[in-house]
Every structure is written in C-alpha cells, then in structure tokens.
Amino acid sequence: MKKSVLVAGFATRHVACSAWKAGYDVYSVDHFCDRDLSWYTRDAIKFEDLEDLPCAVAEMIGRHHIDMVVFTSGAESMHSTVPVKGTPPDRIERFLDKQKIQEFFEELGIPTPRIAGDGLYPVMIKPRKGSGGWRNRIVRNDQEKINWENEFENPPFIAQEVVAGIPASVCCLATGEQAVAISTNEQMLRGEHTAPYGFSGSVTPFVSVRSEEMVSYAEKIAAASGCVGCIGIDFVAGDEVWAIEVNPRFQATLDTVEMATGINLFEAHIRACDGLLPERRPSPQQYAVRTILFAGRDLTVTGDMSRLAPAVTDIPWPGTEFGEGHAVVSVYGHGKSRDEALSMLDNHIVTVRQYMK
C-alpha cells in the first residue's frame, strides 16, 4: 500500500513531483496551486498569506489519512499532529535567522563574509529572516541604507562586507550527525534593479576550481548543523569560497539536481531522515538548467502551457494574470555541456514567451 505525504509551504510543486515519482500519494498546501501541481497531487489547498498556512494544513490533515508531512519554504518551523520528515523545529530556528547562521559559520571556522562596522560601505544588507534573496541589496552610503529600510519597513537585518564571485550552492543529505553532498549548483540571480539578488534559477553541476572546497565545507556544515534530510548550503565562489547561508529544507535547485544526477531527492530525503545516507556522491550524468521567467509588465497568460511540459513547470492556468515582476513559469534545458543546456533553454524560452501576452 502506498504511503501518503502532505507537502506544505509557500511553493511545493518541485517536492510534490519528486514524491509522486517516488511512489507516494501526495497532498499539498501551496500558495500558487499551479496547473502541474494538480498532476501530482490527490488534493491541494491554496492559501494566500503565510498566517493562513497552519489552518490549511490542519484542514488537509482532517480531510485525508496522511502518513507524514514535509514542510517547504515558509513552513519550516511548523509543528504537526502527523509525523514530520525533516529537521525538527527546535533545531531549524537557528537557520531561519541570518545573524545566527553567521555565528554558526564563525564557530565552525568556515569562511564567511564579515559583519561590517557601522558607517562602512559598500555592504550587502539582508533581512535576518526570509528566503529567496529578493530583499538583499548592496548599499553604498547612509541614504541608500535608509531607502532600503523604508522600502521594506525596517526589518531586522545584517550588513556584511561585499565579496566577489559566483553564487553557488551544495545540496546535501544529512542524518543529524553525518552528511553527504549530492550536487554542486550554480545559482542564477535576477540581476535587475528591483531584486538583483533574487533567486531566478540554477545550473547543475557547478564545475569550478572551488567545487571540491565547497563540497568539503558543505559536508562539514551540514553534519554539524543537526539538520535532517535534504538541506542546502549557499556559497559565493571567487578567489576564495565564502559560506553564505544554510537552507534547512528542500531547495529550489531540486529540479536541476534530479535532472543532472538521475536520483530521486524525495526518496533520498526520507532515507536520510531514517538515518541512511548514500555510500558515495552521485556523479552528474548531464548538465541541467532551470530559469524562472518573470513578468516584465502586467500580463495575462493566453494559452495552455501544459503542452510544453517537461520543458516547463510551475505552469499557470490559462487566463492567469500576473503583475509586473511576478514569477510566471519555470523553463528548462539540458545537455552534455553547460553551453548545450543553456542553448536548449534559450530555444524553450522563445516558445514560452509566445504565451506571455
């Protein structure tokens, strides 16, 4: 008999799809409830604001027999009446606060950008809580700092020295005491003025002279974190490697990791939660790339993009309206080389944009 899992959080399609491929009956609580989420789930509840999430989770558990829950972004520290497969809330809180992550790296002796002194510029300013990087900014003077605080309503923040390099990450599996790296990933950022450091996609694998150094640091961090299951460690890889953040949950790189390595990350996550790790790191079989397309203006999706799958995911329902800057759809490419994968991606993007009128 199949086991059932509830995947709950702000965005769940990637985890729900992996669980479905692993043979689970999948239920979801999700902010978007895109068309393709319905392909992998027996039932889904859409919520608007994160404060609505606990009630939606309770409603879904009341509707169906659920064997386990997996929480994704926005829901990491939630409790549940059903067994949770992932890092316990008492351990996870440390990694939802960037100041505490900074202190954790420093305690381990892992290189990380230093906290900048008052009045020193430029600095990378980040809210202490929140994911996706969309509020991260480099500020160069007091006025730019004040503007940032006003724009985001004065959240608690950290200000780090700016380091140069390629944004990257390592996907790890952890048991709470041991960890194995699964893949290195190049992170694609939006690069525009409104959210220049917002996540917009990934390339797996990330091949660099710094890759092995990143893997070594990531396994040390993941093992020491006490986290369980699939977690990600963000880095900047330049003349040196700097650890940036710990993501104690499934990452947005899941799709390219699975495409590149051929493994099922959800099943590997469950095994890690049960104390079982792969004997060795998987070798990449190909390059895989995903990018998120954002609306350059207010627009409406004019047709059914589901016919474009598997070149696209996070597929909006026909007629869905998007405001300027909102994420519309994810697009993919793959190939024997990074250039080949990016070339396929570009071809797919040309097709997809015909639906974004």
Q: Given pLDDT bands bounded at 50, 70 and 90, which one contains residue 2?
A: confident
Mean pLDDT of 65-73: 97
pLDDT for 70 beyond 90: yes
Query: Three-state secondary structure along 273-325?
Result: HCCCCCCCCCCCCCEEEEEEEECCCCEEECCCHHHHCCCEECCCCCCCEECCC
pLDDT for 193 beyond 80: no
pLDDT tens digits, 239-290: 999 999 999 999 999 999 999 999 999 999 999 999 999 999 999 999 999 9
Q: How far is CA 327 from CA 32, 170, 181, 227, 322, in A?
A: 11, 24, 29, 30, 8
How high does pLDDT run on average in the chain? 96
Q: Given pLDDT bands bounded at 50, 70 and 90, which one contains residue 90?
A: confident
Q: Which domains does the chain have, with CATH numbers?
A: 4-85 (3.40.50.20), 109-161 (3.30.1490), 287-355 (3.90.1170)
Both structure tokens of 46: 């859409």
Query: Three-state secondary structure along the chain?
Result: CCCEEEEECCCCHHHHHHHHHCCCEEEEEECCCCCCHHHHCCEEEECCCHHHHHHHHHHHHHHCCCCEEEECCCCCCCCCCCCECCCCHHHHHHHHCHHHHHHHHHHHCCCCCCECCCCCCCEEEEECCCCCCCCCEEECCHHHHHHHHHHCCCCCEEEEECCCCEEEEEEEEEECCCEEEEEEEEEEECCCCCCCCCEEEEEECCCCCCHHHHHHHHHHHHHHHCCEEEEEEEEEECCCEEEEEEECCCCCCHHHHHHHHCCCHHHHHHHHHCCCCCCCCCCCCCEEEEEEEECCCCEEECCCHHHHCCCEECCCCCCCEECCCCEEEEEEEEECCHHHHHHHHHHHHHHHHHHEC
Both structure tokens of 13: 């399609």
User: In 3D, which of 244, 226, 224, 222 has the Cα closest to residue 235?
Assistant: 244
pLDDT tens digits, 25-50: 999 999 999 999 999 999 999 999 99
Buried b (16+ CB within 10 A) or exposed e, 60-81: bbeeeebebbbbbbbbbbbebe
pLDDT for 1 beyond 80: no
pLDDT tens digits, 202-252: 999 999 999 999 999 999 999 999 999 999 999 999 999 999 999 999 999
CA distance 225 to 107: 11
> Could you tell me the pTM of the whole model?
0.96
Mean pLDDT of 139-168: 96
pLDDT for 194 beyond 90: no
CA distance 66 to 314: 24
